[in-house]
Chain A
Amino acid sequence: MRYEIRWHGRGGQGAVTAAMILANAAIYEGKYAQAFPEFGAERRGAPVRAYTKVSDKPIHSRSPILNPDIVVVLDPSLPKELYLEGLKENGLLLVNTKKTPEELKKSLGIDGKYTIYTVDATKIALDILGLPIVNTAMVGALVRVLPIVSIDSVAKAILETFSGRVGEKNVEAVRAAYDAVVGSDL
């Protein structure tokens, strides 16, 4: 089974790093994975997308993900057309917002058949990191709703990427978001 995940954020929020951390965690577990950004859009504040593919088998294709199984939204102010584009029917949508999935669905007028999860990752990031950088928290929330890698592998991937106290704080954010994510089946 191959999972194709598309990350949406704005430049500076760390969507590209989130995509990489998830892939790295999968690789540490002996799985196959690819992570890459939508290249060339890395300007602070500009919409950014990044991709992670995770599989038990080797991944050859280097196509960007046009029909993701999962969409993760780091910035709720992005237009919904941007991140819902191509999301598979019954696909999974995970959004950083204060709203519950039901409230989000209503306020955005999302009528597609998606399974929606929400988490207030901005609050978690501000409380723990002191910065509104939500990428690691969103990885934590994602591996709760889609357990393709263990939270410990995510922690390992984070500690390999960020050293010392920054790494530890980010692991804390991962665990907090893992617990805080909201959805009808959680």
Chain B
Amino acid sequence: MAVTIQRAKVEWKRLPLSSNYAVAYAVKDLDVDVIAAYPITPQTTVVEKISEFIANGELNAEMIHVESEHSALSATIAASAAGARAFTATASQGLELMHEILHIASGLRLPVVMSVATRALSAPISIWNDYSDLMNTRDTSWITIIASTAQEVYDSVVQAFRIAEDPEVMLPVIVAYDGYIMSHTYEPVLVPENNEPILKYAPKNYNRIKLDPERPVTMGTLASPEWYYEFKYQQVAAMEKALEKAREADKVFAEYFGRGYGLVEEYMTSDADIILVAYGGLFGTIKEAIDMMRQNGVKVGGLRIRLWRPFPAEDVKNALKNAKLVVVIDKAISYGARIAGPVALEVMSAFYHDADKPSILSIIAGIGQRRITEETIKEIVDYSRKLLERGRIPNESLYWGVRGVRYE
């Protein structure tokens, strides 16, 4: 079906918002019906702001107070099963406590949207940022977008509901962004004066299979070995479909609202010998580091993974195929794997069957919000160039900046 697109006439107001507040504004503008959440740092202000909107009468929604994140997601999926547009938000330990229900949300094919202000995991306790929590959701069949600015957070939550509620997708979506580094940073965000165009772009899909006493259905019943596999394969197929639907959702968004992101973001890749691959807020720092290095004649570029699940392998390969060396910076560790960066593994596997491919180096950095500045990025690139000259790219992750480990 052809999509007719017309640039929407939207009056935008430019507000100073944190990424947490950007989520709350999107939830308000999407006219979400039910929110259930439990407070956890650094997500809490998302739900505080939503509560404010409900109290002010700016959003007509039911806010369910629950006693844990396990209950938060359970209540959210129950509301979604009853046909409501439902939302929750969490981070870190909260996301871990939800883990069981993550699979139930996707298995029930419920178009729930959740924001995650990513944070390190205990023990020891760290309230600071990395992507350990998010990467643990990799195999849960949630579509996952990782944003890099507060504006993109707003726009991605809007896109998320359109993708989730698409009849050919019907899968939950996570919109993730750096805890603290983005969740608590104020920056300019355009939000519409009224939400009509937002709802035109992402209309509520009430016309779906739901729990309705007039038309009874059973959800999540026992599936014997005879049938369970088929249910799971349908999720595989829906994820495949979601890749194209996510691409289309962003394309339509761009034409409708004038802002688009793609499934990946390229920065000065076309002539780059070395391309840095990263995700989330770090990519902004990488872009400025690339600007500095380019001034010194270093041919370096950047690629940001925006859609993490489903993984846009072809987009990634197209962006990276002409590089000599690809350096993937992961802010999470897959313990016990030689290549311990989850995104590095994915990039490597995308190229596995190709005869002609760049060398790929996996770097772990920013764990528990260990500082990454432009200087750090330059050091990583300097070291990578040395490895490239020596022609020896290690087949194991490098743990950048950790005490007691030095790379010569």
Contacts and interface: CB of A to CB of B under 8 A. Distances in A.
B284 interface: yes
Given A33-B16, A39-B128, A39-B180, A60 B284 contact: yes
B50 to A, nearest CB: 19
A19 to B, nearest CB: 8
B285 A60 contact: yes
Nearest to A66: B373
A37 B45 CA distance: 15
Interface of B: 14-16, 42, 127-128, 178, 180-182, 184-188, 281-282, 284-285, 287-289, 369, 371-374
A24 B16 contact: yes
A34 interface: yes
Interface string A53-67: 000000111111010
Interface in A34-76: 34-37, 39-40, 59-64, 66
**Most chain B C-beta atoms within 10 Å of own C-beta, residue among A20, A27, A60:** A60
Interface in A1-36: 20, 23-24, 27-28, 30, 32-36
Interface residues of A, number: 22
A39 B369 contact: yes
Contact of A61 (B128, B178, B184, B374): B374
B15 A27 contact: yes
A36 B285 contact: no
Given A36-B181, A39-B128, A63 B15 contact: no
Contacts of A35: 16, 185-187
17 contacts: A28-B14, A32-B187, A33-B186, A34-B185, A36-B180, A36-B185, A39-B184, A40-B180, A59-B284, A60-B287, A60-B288, A61-B289, A61-B374, A62-B178, A62-B281, A63-B285, A63-B372
B369 A62 contact: no
Contacts of B282: 62
A104 B10 CA distance: 53
A63 B372 CA distance: 7
Interface of A: 20, 23-24, 27-28, 30, 32-37, 39-40, 59-64, 66, 157
A24 B128 CA distance: 24
Nearest to A63: B373
B288 A27 contact: no
A38 to B, nearest CB: 10
Contact of B374 (A28, A30, A63): A63
B16 A36 contact: no
Contact of B187 (A33, A64, A66): A33
A27 B21 CA distance: 15
B255 to A, nearest CB: 22
A61 B181 CA distance: 11
Nearest to A65: B373
B284 A32 contact: no
A62 B128 contact: no
A23 B373 CA distance: 21
A20 B281 CA distance: 19
B182 A62 contact: yes
A34 B16 CA distance: 9
Contact of A34 (B42, B127, B186): B186
